[in-house]
Structure 1
Amino acid sequence: MKARYNRISTSSQKLDRQTHKANKDEILFNDVVSGSVPFNERTEAIKLIQAIKSNAVNYVSVSSIDRLGRNTLDILQTIELFNNYDVTLKVDNLGIESITNGKPNNVFKLIISVMANVAEMERETLLERQREGIALAKAKGTYTGRVKGSKETPQQVLDKHKEVVRYIKQGQSLRNVAKLSDVSLGTVQKVKKLLTTHTQ
């Protein structure tokens, strides 16, 4: 049976762009989660993996490769999982499949690896530009930051950064937590400090 995996980062976003190519015979798995969360830790992705392992699904479509994730290694591990169960992965915007004539498509793996790396570098560049912009605004005295009087409580900060909390508890390095959660190193340090001083 065929399946289609869709992902949006927040509930305010729409799935229409990803689902308009869906066929009637496809089972839909729709996640609302950050792309930094590993594929095998997402609610709907877990259900998809279970369906694959039970041989209920042997063909998966995605609108673009970044729906699987933002981390190159995680994407390649997901593709490897599909290959191990002889599941064909089709990426709509590339028009290619991971398996051709019953064998892994090496061209597919190469293209996906390059594209995933490029996407990851673009994300890092964007975050770096944001940090540089904030630093420049602070130097000019024009950076306002959080609106005065809207200071968050320790619990609100921890609730806001649940991903950061989870990765810290897993023992990940601070830099790795920042990368996986798409936040600054300063935010990770702040959350870690709150975890050690604030009882949830």
Structure 2
Amino acid sequence: MTKHIGYARVSTRAQDSDRQIVDLKDPMLGKVRADDLYIDHGVSGARETRPALDQALAALEAGDTLVVATLDRLGRSTENMLRLAADLRNRGVALKVLNLGGEAIDTSTPTGSMLFTVMVALAQMELDIKKERALDSVSKRRAAGKDLGGRRAKFSEGLIQMARQQIDAGGSPSQVARDLGMSRATLHRRLQQNAESVDLRLGEPPAVLPRKREARKGGLK
């Protein structure tokens, strides 16, 4: 008797309300029995090791169908997804994606197989475009001298005050910046902002920090 083997990847263990689980178990849609459903919890699609997917693939026999809710459940790489589909086809196993371009696609049919290949390529192209846009945004922000998301919070006010104390005690600004994992220019800017914040709280005019110590010929201290 042929079976529908379902695979899902969820971010948490609170899976009952996850839409993909509901769709896979739907008797009119995924047609997957609870005993034939394999779930990876908190596993990224970019990772090669996905234990539940490996178990689902091992459970498949000729004539069975592997069912997933969306294409990205299988991974992020076009090459990997097409290789997986080809491997299933060679084993006599169909692949059914419940929502690929708004429609369910079943690779057991010639049309479904062709559409799957096209949609995988389009999905990869969309992912590449998003990556390119993200990198372009980072490059523009860096060129404009803006802080990148998440970096400001990493260096707390207490940490900046500690850096100031080390420099006041004779420490090299360049070395202190390296120890904190930031550039000397960023450290100077954060020290200036910290000084202005302290002075404003005290009701005093903002202090002006020196740009840098006397530099040795050919480089900073």
**Aligned equivalent of 2:50:** 42
Query: Cα RMSD (Å) of the superposition?
Result: 2.7
User: By how many angstroms is 1:57 displaced?
Assistant: 8.1
TM-score by length of 2: 0.55
TM-score (norm 1): 0.60
**2:114 corresponds to which of 93, 110, 117:** 110
The answer to which structure, 1 or 2, has the higher relative contact order (CA under 8 A, 6+ apart) is 1
Which protein has the larger Cα radius of gyration, Structure 1 or Structure 2? 2
Q: How many residues are aligned here?
A: 141
Q: Which runs of 5+ in 1 are unaligned?
A: 100-104, 152-200
SS in 2 for 1:95: strand
What is the CA–CA distance in structure 2 between the aligned matches of 1:24 and 1:112, rounded to whole Å? 21
Measure, in 2, the Cα distance between the counterparts of 1:125 and 1:12. Answer: 31
Describe how 1:178-189 pairs up with structure 2 within 5 A: none
Residues in 2 aligned to 1:18 and 1:125: alpha-carbon distance in whole angstroms: 26
2:37 matched to 1:28? yes
Structure 1 residue 51: Cα displacement: 1.0
Q: Contact conserved, 1:72 with 1:113, CA < 8 A, in 2?
A: no
For residues 82 and 45 of structure 1, what CA distance do their matches in structure 2 show? 13
Partner of 1:62: 68
Tell me the equivalent position of 2:134: 130
Q: Given residue 28 of structure 1, which amino acid in structure 2 is its aligned partner?
A: L
Relative to structure 1, is the Cα distance of residues 131 and 106 closer, same or farther in structure 2, using a 3 angstrom cutoff? same
Q: CA shift at 1:56, angstroms?
A: 9.1
Mapped to 2, the partners of 1:16 and 1:124 lie a distance apart of: 27
Matches within 5 A, 1:100-179: 105-145=109-149, 146=151, 147-149=153-155
Tell me, yes or no, if the aligned pair for 1:66 and 1:116 is still in contact at 8 Å: no
Task: Name 1:17's counterpart in structure 2.
Answer: 19
The alpha carbon displacement at 1:96 in A equals: 2.7
Q: Which runs of 5+ in 2 are unaligned?
A: 26-30, 160-221
Deviation at 1:29, TM superposition (A): 1.0
